Structure 1
Amino acid sequence: MNGSCPRREWQNWPGTAEDKFLTSGYIVQAYCDSGDYDQMLQAAKEQVELANNQNDDLMRSEALLNLARANERLAEYEKAIDFAEQSLALPGIDKRSPGYAHLVIAMARMGISGLQQSLEHFELSMKIAIETGDKLLELQISLGLGALFTLLRDLNKALIFLQNALGIMHGIEANHVHAKYRSAILYQLSVILRLKGRLSEARQVCEESIHLAKQVGNKPTFARALASLADIFCEIGETEARETVTKSWARYEQAFRLLRKINDRSGQIIVLASMARSASENKGVHYAGRCECQAIQLNRKCLELATLIGSKHAMMECHSRLYDLYSQLSDEENSTESNRQQRHLIQQMELFCNFCGQRYGEIEESLQALNCSHIFHEK
């Protein structure tokens, strides 16, 4: 949908308030699908205004859910949680809507690195998806759980959830919906396969993700997949020509420009983290003169944005890389501070097994969760 389209115009069309409300919902979804999140937010606000003018709690619940979704996509995570909780407190038009509200909360909690709380809301959402037979909701939950367990470094469990999402997707007939979700699933799959060292498979699924995302105009997935492909080529480049890494750097920059253009801040952090990691591991490779200073600058830029949106996990990884870089430079003051900040964030995120007390989420290992969503090592 063209971002310059005057949305106020449709509000003046003849028709009932219910018709206009439904139309506004379609507009919100269209902007969501294309990744135009600022426009999505504006359309959601107008839908809330419609609901308030009608003084209709059923409409208000649905509109607040759309407002929550828009804020989650814009990495306004606390606002997203607040609006989703307001939606849950009202009677809904659709019995499936609470499942989508819990999904928004789960994604927002993951965004601010409340990983156990995120898991709890994924489970609440899944319960509603199963009760209502909503396969599309179940697919999105499986995709989200795949991302969550990737963060936790239980890659086998992440793979299981993505395989479940792919299985559900095969039952969806609408081609554009099929392509949209397949591209998102394959992007996440490429990340896992790269972490497992299966670079050839990772490259294959990532290239398909890029093709599908471009086909349906899904800019956020396209940019993320482009950065994932750059990650893959960086690792391939360790044993191949130096030129591969240079090409990867160009992909990072293209992905970052696109994500900045659409104000996708969580995506920007993903790309900046990849650039920072690449610069840290391949100092002097991308362009002449690149050194620890360039790597430090990128990590600080990533840290600044991660701090702004409250992404503790991304902040922790930045401090970890900065600790290594400062240590290499024998900068004891900054290395000590980076190490202190990293340990503080690990404590805040409670990345410790509830049984053995050891840290999880650092290396690939199998995890389990209790009914209360507390996470522990599977032994």
Structure 2
Amino acid sequence: MAEEISSEQEIDLTNERAWIRTVSDPHEGIALSKDAYRRALETGYNKGQAAALLNIGWGHCYTAQYENALTSFLDALDVFRGARDRRGETFATLAIGVVHHTIGQLKTARRHYEKSLKIAQEIHDRDREAAAINSIGEIRLSGGETEKALEAFESAIAIASPDNAGFRASVMINRATALHSLGRSVDAEGELSRALASARTLGNRVGEARSLVELGRFFHAQQRWDEAYDTYRACVGVCEENGNKLGLVACLKHLGALHRDRGEDGESLGCYEYAIETATSIGTLSNVCDCLYEISEIYERRGDYPHALEYSRRFADAQHAVITSETTSKVKTLVLQHEKDSVDRQSEIYRLRNVELAEAHARLSTIVRIGREITASLEIGRVVATLYAGIREVLDARTFAIGLVDSDSGVLVYKYGIENERPVEPVSIPLDSETSFGAYVVRTNSEVVFSDSDVEADRFVKNWNTGRSGRVRSGLYMPLNTGNTTIGVVTVQSEQVSAYADHHVEIIRALASYVTIAIENSLFVERINQLNSALQSEKNDLQRANREIKHMANHDNLTGLPNRRLVMELLSDSLEMARRRGNLVGVVFLDLDNFKPINDTYGHTVGDGVLAQVAKRVSDALRQSDIIARVGGDEFIAVVRDVESRDAVETVVKKILAVLSAPIELDDVKYPVHASLGVAVFPHDADQVETLITRADDAMYRVKQREKNGYSFYADTEGL
């Protein structure tokens, strides 16, 4: 006779099933979790309530319902605290950090990750400690701190208990991503293979699917087409077998991209349409948006402009819906966090002084109210007017202005300003200006607060003068940040000395987050409207817009050179022309020697500058008919077209080496740069694009192995 189980055990089993479904079909997982929560609430089972709330929060997170996700996680945290379950607190606190990480609030996310880490260390729970360290590593990885991210992942692996194999496999995937970013491809592949083997041993089908899709992406990036295809197909099979719709959508998108890169448009369209159908069924609209864009690109490339226009319009509609939904969710999430923080702060203030509690509550209520009002509008002029009216209720603001950074022009544009209740004319200030508080804020990403400009201005600027009637004596300047980027500044100013107390500074600081969201909303809607107008215009406008999009997709952002995708197409065309004319084509694979120490020693900004100068020098050295492309971190491919002899190719190669012989000079500092070049010649060495590039790459590695800073033809290395 089967052993009877208690109601609490039934709730626990339901929560376990709900978690499994949440990561594959969020809506079904949420429904199961709500049932578990209802039964746990009826029986007073706190642990079951909290577990269900966590599952519900993750389901909302997977479907971009960030406000609902944060609400569930905060409720779970309250339940855990009420039950004095400190381990549970680490789960809920970490989950709150994930919501903020997802919507780009990196500082807030890291604060929650570190809080979760602190609790885990206090209760000596090594697995929860490892989870927090892994999340901190993910923030470092997204911020470009790859080496530090790798250290965090390795620390998480070392701390986690050996029997926590599922978590360890997940960290392996993160570690592989970091290794690949650092150019350690062999190590990355090994790590992904171990993660896959671990998931299969555990029978973790979701982990197996994630490992397969990441391994497929690795093969794809390495242009190991067949291995990538087989891996993606295996992932599709795993996801279909266990109903993992979220994983299936991710895999289909990558498989569609693989077919696209191989020129298999029909198969690519099929993958994207299947992904749209699946994503629609689980409500992940952002995935639908991605697929519509790719389908539009395929039709545009094929010259099928009616279908391209149809899918471009569907993409624009879907993207507008995504941004509207996600922006609303982000705004409400910030409001919720403010309200939660307000409750915590209010409790502490009440303990100290009832009068201060009332004042603090009024200020926080004002912040939330103004924040909601300004983020409710998509028209920047109305945002400015609403913000100014709200600020004047709580502080003296003779002058109020919002400046936005114009990166292209290198200026801070005060386009929206009010002085003595009247609009002021826009003014542009160079970002390197030493007489502007606003420029100082943008350059340093720091706040400026002064109580008497006569005494304190020199701390920030030189020879400061308002340039307007009246005198500004007190001022507040706050940076407007999105992620790690400063996009502008908001300022209020007064003619009175010491016009602003600490609580005034807190108000403007808090409102800056809302102002950033409102500006992003406005600029995005403005861009969407421009795109919609373009889509409604004549055919030549559509073709020009598509050409611009295609250029962005086919060119390297840093150097402006063609990327790997485009050079493959151009090389294919060059070979076809050479076949007809009976000419030769030289493929030169160029890899910089000892470039990594420049990045490690001087930073990526200098490294990027060196790469840009290398690209310019090589471009200038080539003939007008030749091609140069950037295909990797410090890897380039040159195509020497329409030549009649190997000697002609060799002449170009020698010119490239010659122009790279002199050091790169940036800001009066010289950086020595050399290169190893491998050359393959069509049709002598190969007659297919992939084979020619591979053989040029092989020849380049021969140079690397010998002495570097030289060149070698594949024909001269064959058999060595």
Question: Given the two structures, how large is their TM-score scaled by the length of structure 2?
Answer: 0.39
In the other structure, the counterpart of 1:375 is 483
Question: What is the rounded CA distance, in whole Å, between the counterparts of 1:301 and 1:196 in structure 2?
Answer: 34
Separation in structure 2 between the aligned mates of residue 254 and residue 162 of structure 1, nearest angstrom = 28
The aligned amino acid for 2:262 is N
Task: Name the one with the larger strand percent.
Answer: 2
Deviates more, 1:256-265 or 1:212-221: 256-265
Aligned residue identity for 1:190: A
Computing the radius of gyration from Cα coordinates, the structure with the larger value is 2
Contact 1:68 1:104 (C-alpha < 8 Å) held by counterparts: no
Matched, 1:300 2:240: no
In the alignment, structure 1 residue 258 sits paired with structure 2 residue 261: no
**Cα pair distance change 1:24/1:342, threshold 3 Å:** closer
Structure 1: give runs of 5+ residues left out of the alignment. 1-8, 239-243, 284-290, 360-367
Residue in structure 2 matched with residue 215 of structure 1 by the alignment: 201
Where do 5+ consecutive residues of structure 2 fail to align?
A: 328-402, 409-443, 447-478, 487-604, 606-720
Flag the 1:165–1:83 CA change in 2: closer, same or farther, 3 A. Answer: same
Residue 254 (structure 2) pairs with residue 268 (structure 1):
no
- SS of alignment partner, residue 40 of structure 2: helix
Offset, 1:105: 4.5
Whether 1:166 and 2:139 are equivalent positions in the alignment is no
Whether 1:157 aligns to 2:265 is no
Residue-by-residue CA offset, 1:126-164 (whole Å, 9 max, x unaligned) = 3133144254334334444555676x5x4x336634531
Matching residue of 2:473: none
Pair 54,98 (structure 1): closer, same or farther in 2 beyond 3 Å: same
Q: Give how far 1:300 is off.
A: 3.5
Instruction: Please state whether the residue corresponding to 2:484 is helix, strand or coil.
Output: strand
Aligned partner (choices 68, 75, 86) of residue 75 of structure 2: 86
Match of 1:176 among 163, 175, 200: 163
Cα distance in structure 1, aligned partners of 2:147 and 2:321: 27
Q: Is the aligned partner of 1:318 residue 2:291?
A: yes
Instruction: Say if 1:176 and 1:128 are closer, same or farther in 2 by CA, change over 3 A.
Output: closer
Q: Secondary structure at the match of 1:170?
A: helix
Partner of 2:666: none
Report the CA distance between 1:25 and its aligned residue. 4.1
| Amino acid in the other structure paired with 2:112 | L
State the alpha-carbon separation in 1 of the partners of residues 8 and 245 from structure 2.
Answer: 29
Offset, 1:320:
4.4
- What is the rounded CA distance, in whole Å, between the counterparts of 2:319 and 2:63 in structure 1? 24
Q: Confirm or deny: 8 A CA contact 1:272 1:302 kept in the other structure.
A: yes
Alignment of 1:347-366 (within 5 A): 356=405
Q: In structure 2, which of residues 189, 213, 220 is the aligned counterpart of residue 203 of structure 1?
A: 189
Higher mean C-alpha displacement, 328-337 vs 215-224: 328-337
CA contact (8 A) 1:65 1:101 kept: no
For residues 134-149 of structure 1, the aligned pairs below 5 Å read 134-144=125-135
Question: Is the contact between residue 256 and residue 271 of structure 1 (CA under 8 Å) also seen in structure 2?
Answer: yes
Residues 210, 226 of structure 1: 8 Å contact kept: yes
Pick from 309, 312, 330 the counterpart of residue 333 of structure 1: 309
What is the letter of the counterpart of residue 188 of structure 1?
N
The equivalent position to 1:123 in structure 2, one of 85, 91, 111, is 111
Residues 328 and 34 (structure 1 numbering): CA distance in 2 closer, same or farther, change over 3 Å?
A: closer
Bigger relative CO (Cα 8 Å, ≥ 6 apart): 1
| Maintained 8 Å contact 1:327/1:335 | no
Residues 21 and 47 in structure 1, CA contact (< 8 A), matched pair in contact too: no
Matched, 1:190 2:176: yes
Q: Which amino acid aligns with 2:299?
A: Y
Aligned pairs, how many?
A: 333
Residues 248-275 of structure 1, C-alpha deviations (whole Å, 9 max, x = no match): 3232122122223333333222211211
Match of 1:101 in 2: 92
Q: Structure 1's 187 and 357: CA in aligned 2 closer, same or farther, altered over 3 A?
A: farther
CA contact (8 A) 2:129 2:159 kept: no
Instruction: State the identity %.
Output: 13
2:211 aligns to what SS in structure 1? Answer: helix
For 2:480 and 2:112, locate their aligned partners in 1 and report how far apart those are by CA, in whole Å: 12
Q: Output the CA distance in 2 between the equivalents of 1:35 and 1:267.
A: 11
Q: Is the Cα–Cα contact under 8 Å of residues 147 and 188 in structure 1 kept in the other structure?
A: yes
- 1:139–1:164 contact (8 Å) kept in structure 2: no
CA displacement, residues 70-97 of structure 1 (integer Å, 9 cap, x when unaligned): 7369758566545334323442441342
SS in structure 1 of the partner of residue 272 of structure 2: helix
Q: Pick the structure with more helix per residue.
A: 1
Distance 1:264 1:372 in 2: 40
- Distance, in Å, in 2 between the alignment partners of 1:60 and 1:369 is 44
Q: For the residues of structure 2 that align with 1:345 and 1:145, how far apart are their CA atoms?
A: 31
Provide, for residues 13-58 of structure 1, a one-character-per-residue CA deviation record: whole Å limited to 9, x for no partner. 4xxx7xx6378548845985899978987885675355323335x3
For the 8 Å contact 1:107–1:118, the answer to whether it is kept is no
Match of residue 214 from structure 2: 228
